[in-house]
Structure 1
């Protein structure tokens, strides 16, 4: 049974992510953990009494959290009747990322699905600050970020963005391959280059191993020229090929890291387009040496 964590703040984008998750896995046995965290904000003043007032404030936000989860669960049960799905609600007095880490460890969560906020002019933060914190902090579980206004589509076309500078392990590729096999989706490996040039020996080796790991899953390799920024390039690529989901590995100097550091104006439109599957770095990051290459070849 799949175990999926759904953080919520009861906002429209959080609800959209929940709807996406339920639709995505409608044919699979799933246990969904719906999490709401709360941390009371108490205005401190030399004229304010402390103690009882703080406890009362905590009780109010705790009750609001629990009541919100009850109402959300009732809404899910009213709109979706799937005997394959089980829901567990968790209300926690904790920081969001800390509690997500705890639940992943305690309940052996296989995927976190979270909503992302829409653009808001100059105040825009890439995908919303909570989503970025989750992606940067969660090192042992994939995160699927769903744009606020994205309407569910079965992912029959999945893009995997990589520069081939890193050797990927089977454990890191597993979330991508499981998604592709579950939905009979084609994987489009996309390499963004500032200027088109031949792959280095290391890049070619990593591409060959990547294609070997993907195996029988239908896949294609695309090399595209960078248009102003990585995020804009991937956005155009996704639109032109009708990509339903974009996957990236999150590691030092990866596309994912570059995008979170791009100037706001360059990445403004990107995150509102399609779901983004961020896979954490689990294995070795450098290509194997010659001895290990022979061992890998011998074992395959």
Structure 2
């Protein structure tokens, strides 16, 4: 059973992420944890009343959170009736990123799915600040970010962005491999270079290891010239090849780190038009989604 955490603020953006997750995993047994966090404003002066119409502000906000979660579950069951899916709601007086981090540890979460959009009035922003914070703070499982207006498509074309400078472990790539197998997808390994040149000996070794990991999956290697930024280069590549999902590992000096630090002007063209699977740096002792050690234990 997969354990999937989905934060929601009850917006249509959040619902779109929920809808994507229900369709992506409709054939798998899953337990979904729906999370809503709230941080009531504490009255700081005598002009801010802590009680309105006899109801404490904190109690009213907590009630709205809990009710919103129950209504969300009812909507899911109405639109995506699936006996393989079960749900747990969590209403928490906490900061979103802190609560996500705690729940990943507490419930051994396999995947976090979140909606993403640029900040209001700033379409140039790579993705919402909460999404970026979740990606940076979630160290034990992948994060799947779903763009605001993305309609679900079966991910039969998956791009994996890498510069081949780091050795990836099977534990880190296992979630990507399992997804590709589940949907009979093609993986397109894409390498963005500022200046096209031959791979170093280290890069070639890491590429050969990737080929071994993807041996049972149709895969191709693509080298593309960097445009104004890595993010824009990957967007153009994804559009031209009809990519349904972009995946990358998040570690120091990775594409993901570079993309979240690129100046707004440079990343203006990248609006996360397709889902983004961000895999944390797990290492050899990973306890991640479909950990290969779990699979070997079963056999």
* TM-score using structure 1 length: 0.90
Aligned to 1:172: 172
**What does residue range 98-247 of structure 1 map to in structure 2 within 5 Å?**
98-118=98-118, 120-122=120-122, 124-247=124-247
Preserved CA contact (<8 Å) 2:43 2:49: no
The answer to whether the 8 A contact 1:231-1:267 is kept is: yes
Q: Is the 8 A contact 2:119 2:128 kept in 1?
A: no
Distance in 1, Cα, partners of 2:199 & 2:41:
53
Structure 2: distance between partners of 1:64 and 1:145: 25
The structural deviation recorded for 1:274 is 0.2
Q: Match for residue 9 of structure 2?
A: 9
Matches within 5 A, 1:282-293: 282-283=282-283
Alpha-carbon distance change, 112 to 49 in structure 1, aligned in 2, over 3 angstroms: closer
1:287 counterpart residue number = none
Tell which deviates more after alignment, 253-262 or 112-121: 112-121
Contact 1:97 1:134 in 2 (8 A): yes
Residue 110 to residue 253, structure 1, CA distance change in 2 (3 Å): same
d(CA) in 1 for partners of 2:43 and 2:272? Answer: 35
Give the CA deviation at 1:43: 4.1
Q: Answer whether contact 2:123 2:271 (CA < 8 A) is retained.
A: no
Q: Distance in 2 between matches of 1:185 and 1:147?
A: 21
The SS at the match of 2:126 is: coil
Contact map agreement 1:118 1:272 (CA 8 A) in 2: no
Structure 2 contact 171–283 (Cα < 8 Å) conserved? yes
CA RMSD of aligned residues (A): 1.8
**Which whole-Å deviations, capped at 9, do the CAs of 1:240-279 have from their partners, x for residues lacking one?**
0000000000001100000001111222332331000000
- Structure 2 unaligned segments of length 5 or more: list them: 285-299
Specify the alignment match of 1:68 in structure 2: 68
Partner deviation per Cα, 1:166-204 (whole Å, 9 max, x = no partner):
010111111110111111101000000001000011111
**Which stretches of structure 1, 4 residues or more, deviate above 6 A after TM superposition?**
49-53
Please say if residues 127 and 271 of structure 2, whose CA atoms lie closer than 8 Å, have aligned partners that are also in contact: yes
Distance in 2 of aligned mates of 1:162 and 1:275:
17
Give me the whole-angstrom Cα distance separating, in 1, the residues matched to 2:48 and 2:195. Answer: 64
Give secondary structure in 2 for the equivalent of 1:92. Answer: strand
CA 1:269–1:177: 2 relative to 1, 3 Å: same
Distance 1:69 1:211, change over 3 A: same
